[in-house]
């Protein structure tokens, strides 16, 4: 309490200091333009925080850090104009800040985080996601650029309050006063972070279920970039190794299935973009959204888990691949495929090769450079990457000139490549991962491909999503019909799942709407469907995406795999009926979960992050 009182006193003192010193500088030593442009900068940061908090939480507005750090960065960015006193200099700064803030808002509307430092080097990936980029723009974003226009144009009309003194003493007094003010707010910012263990510790203090979105408003976008840069300096210590080993040793033991369970030697996975489970077994306005998948769910040899909690983070689609194929949880910030693409992973392809001599393929309509898939494919142990150039153009899905091959022609061509012996040759054990695209937001199908029709009072996003799911269902249905007709079907396991949830910031509005309520799930669930499963089961408890990897090890009887994953097989009767989501939030029947189990599941994210960042398996093999 004493420290809080002291902090409040410091805060009040420096607010008074800011007012008196800043006004003194503005009225005695410089011009109205400086005051105007400084206010314009501070407005941008507060407006950015407001838009950010609209989709997350306004908790950060009740903290000192938001205002102290906002003023500190404002003074820092105003320094070029104070020194050069050239309006074009500050115009460049204002426009750069506008671009940075708008880009981070667009990113946050999907990922609820600031753009990671390393992702700025991968900006070329956006060329293939134009539709998604434009879908993240809001009309409110133009206010940033309008504020710059106002500041520049109105500043040109202002007369100087007083000509700044040209003698060296006046200049030094100006510089000294300004730097004193800047240092004062920097000192308060440092003191506020110091009480929580320093900048990195105070930043990560917020990485919990309720305050994870507060980091960027409280520390600004520049604080998020600084945190990313400082994190790079961490080193692998004996304490880190012990922390990992302790968690791994405390995991529940892996339980193999009985020898009487028949063996499968082939694996085909359909990783459907943004595919959520609420569309399954669902009729809306008398129309079945996923008739083909519903038919497959009714098969007596199907394993189905409808409540797979999304666990992806900043890597989104590529995180979905990692969760499924390696059982690793995503890193805390950014995409592992950009930061650590050449680190060592144990994977399903690796385990199948070791047991069956399997030939493995990754099939995608993207370019190899997207999410750095070409490098990641090697790290995961794929033999062949079949990408955009290997498919014939057909019906395209997408908007704004950035269209990609639709799911129907994509999966049809996958089947043709199998039928022609290009992949999955006769007598060969094979593993195929087919990554679809049509479910990518903004979920806009060409009108000619839309087969479902809903009244106009249904939310547009909901109508678009259901039509896209219906289209993907049609593609999957035809592909599965081909697979079931193959002579090796009895040895083939077919998995259908989503790489992550898709509705992101739209979910709350859709669930609250009269038409969406009771239809759209308020949880971030994707389905886990296994066809021709040696164990038929409907698993209605909550599971995590990482649990799919361990479950597939079970079903394929890959019991000698060197890595059993961060999760637990749903075929293990001791598995607790819950999972921890991307925001460290537990979901499921927590009445049947012990505090120790919940804590272990939460800690799994930290352990996985450490293992990936420090290349744990690569060190283990040295």
pLDDT, average across residues 17-28: 51
The encoded tokens of residue 328 equal 């690793």
Query: pLDDT band at residue 157, thresholds of 50, 70 and 90?
Result: low
Q: Dihedral (C-alpha) 191, 607, 276, 397: value to the nearest 10 degrees? A: 80
Quick: pLDDT tens for 86-105. 778 878 999 999 999 999 99
* Domain 243-620 bears CATH identifier 3.30.420.40: no
Preceding omega of 389 cis (within 30 degrees of 0)? no
> How confident is the model at residue 26, as a pLDDT?
46
The full set of domain ranges for the chain reads 2-231, 243-620
Q: Sort residue 443 into left (φ over 0), alpha (ψ -120 to 50) or beta.
A: left
> How confident is the model at residue 127, as a pLDDT?
61
What SS3 class is residue 441? Answer: coil
CA 328 – CA 127 distance, rounded (Å): 28
Residue 31 has pLDDT above 70, yes or no: no
Cα angle vertex 248, ends 246, 254, to 5°? Answer: 145
Cβ neighbours of 368 (radius 10 Å) = 18
> How confident is the model at residue 579, as a pLDDT?
96
- DSSP-derived pairing of the beta strands 525-531 and 492-498: antiparallel
pTM exceeds cut of 0.95: no
Q: For 276, how many CA atoms within 13 A lie in the half-sphere containing its CB? A: 24
CA 95 – CA 146 distance, rounded (Å): 10
**Average pLDDT across the chain, whole number:** 87
Q: Sort residue 499 into left (φ over 0), alpha (ψ -120 to 50) or beta.
A: alpha
CA 622 – CA 620 distance, rounded (Å): 6
CA 430 – CA 488 distance, rounded (Å): 11
CA 540 – CA 400 distance, rounded (Å): 40
In our burial notation (b when 16+ CB lie closer than 10 A, e otherwise), range 140-169 reads ebebbeebbeebbeebeeeeeeeeeeeeee
- What percentage of the chain reaches a pLDDT higher than 90? 60
Residue with tokens 């039509």: 467
pLDDT, average across residues 54-74: 88
Quick: pLDDT tens for 441-463. 889 899 999 999 999 999 999 99
Residue 154 has pLDDT above 90, yes or no: no
Give the residue ranges of DSSP H helices in 427-582: 460-485, 507-512, 545-555
> How confident is the model at residue 4, as a pLDDT?
44
Q: CA–CA distance from 495 to each of 278, 304, 434, 492 (Å)? A: 18, 10, 10, 10
Query: pLDDT band at residue 322, thresholds of 50, 70 and 90?
Result: very high
CA 96 – CA 394 distance, rounded (Å): 40
Query: pLDDT band at residue 163, thresholds of 50, 70 and 90?
Result: very low
């Amino acid at each position: 309490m004493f420290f809080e009182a002291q902090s409040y006193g410091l805060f009040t003192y420096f607010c008074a200091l800011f007012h008196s010193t800043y006004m003194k500088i503005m009225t005695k030593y410089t011009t109205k333009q400086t005051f105007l442009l400084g206010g314009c900068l501070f407005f941008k940061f507060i407006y950015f925080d407001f838009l950010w908090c609209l989709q997350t939480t306004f908790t950060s507005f009740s903290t000192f850090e938001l205002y102290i750090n906002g003023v500190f960065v404002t003074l820092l960015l105003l320094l070029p104009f104070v020194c050069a006193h050239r309006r074009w200099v500050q115009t460049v700064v204002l426009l750069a800040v506008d671009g940075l803030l708008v880009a981070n808002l667009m990113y946050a509307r999907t990922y609820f985080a600031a753009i990671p430092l390393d992702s700025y080097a991968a900006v070329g990936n956006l060329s293939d996601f134009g539709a998604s980029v434009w879908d993240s723009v809001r009309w409110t974003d133009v206010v940033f650029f309008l504020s710059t226009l106002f500041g520049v144009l109105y500043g040109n009309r202002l007369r100087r309050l007083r000509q700044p003194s040209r003698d060296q003493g006046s200049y030094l007094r100006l510089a000294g006063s300004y730097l004193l003010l800047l240092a004062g707010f920097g000192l308060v910012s440092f003191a506020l972070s110091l009480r929580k263990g320093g900048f990195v510790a105070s930043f990560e203090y917020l990485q919990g279920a309720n305050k994870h979105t507060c980091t960027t408003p409280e520390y600004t976008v520049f604080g998020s970039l600084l945190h990313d840069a400082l994190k790079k300096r961490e080193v692998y210590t004996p304490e880190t190794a012990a922390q990992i080993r302790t968690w791994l040793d405390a995991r529940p033991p892996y339980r193999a299935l009985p020898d009487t369970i028949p063996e499968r030697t082939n694996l085909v996975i359909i990783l459907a973009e943004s595919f959520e489970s609420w569309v399954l077994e669902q009729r809306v306005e008398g129309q079945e959204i996923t008739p083909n998948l519903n038919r497959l769910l009714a098969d007596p040899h199907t394993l189905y888990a409808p409540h797979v909690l999304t666990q992806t983070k900043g890597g989104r689609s590529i995180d979905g691949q990692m969760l499924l194929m390696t059982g690793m949880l995503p890193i805390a910030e950014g995409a592992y495929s950009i930061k650590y693409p050449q680190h060592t992973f144990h994977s399903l392809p690796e385990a199948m090769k070791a047991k069956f001599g399997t030939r493995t393929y990754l099939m995608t309509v993207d370019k190899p450079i997207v999410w750095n898939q070409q490098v990641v494919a090697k790290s995961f142990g794929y033999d062949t990457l079949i990408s955009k150039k290997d498919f014939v153009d057909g019906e395209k899905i997408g908007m704004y000139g950035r269209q990609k091959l639709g799911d129907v022609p994509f999966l049809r061509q996958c089947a043709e490549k199998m039928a022609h012996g290009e992949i999955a040759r006769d007598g060969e054990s094979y593993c195929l991962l087919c990554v679809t695209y049509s479910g990518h937001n903004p979920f806009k199908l060409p009108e000619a491909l839309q087969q479902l029709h809903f009244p106009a009072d249904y939310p547009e996003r909901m109508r678009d999503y259901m039509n896209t799911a219906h289209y993907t269902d049609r593609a999957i249905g035809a592909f599965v019909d081909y697979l079931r007709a193959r002579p090796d079907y009895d040895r083939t396991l077919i998995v259908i799942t989503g790489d992550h949830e898709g509705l992101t910031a739209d979910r709350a509005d859709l669930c609250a709407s009269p038409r969406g309520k009771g239809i759209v799930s308020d949880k971030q669930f994707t389905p886990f469907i296994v066809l021709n499963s040696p164990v038929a089961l409907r698993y209605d408890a909550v599971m995590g995406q990482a649990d799919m990897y361990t479950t597939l090890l079970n079903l394929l009887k890959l019991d000698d795999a060197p890595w059993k994953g961060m999760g637990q097989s749903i075929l293990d009767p001791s598995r607790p009926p819950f999972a921890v989501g991307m925001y460290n939030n537990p979901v499921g029947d927590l009445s049947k979960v012990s505090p120790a189990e919940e804590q272990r599941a939460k800690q799994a994210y930290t352990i996985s992050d450490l293992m990936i960042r420090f290349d744990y398996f690569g060190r283990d093999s040295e």
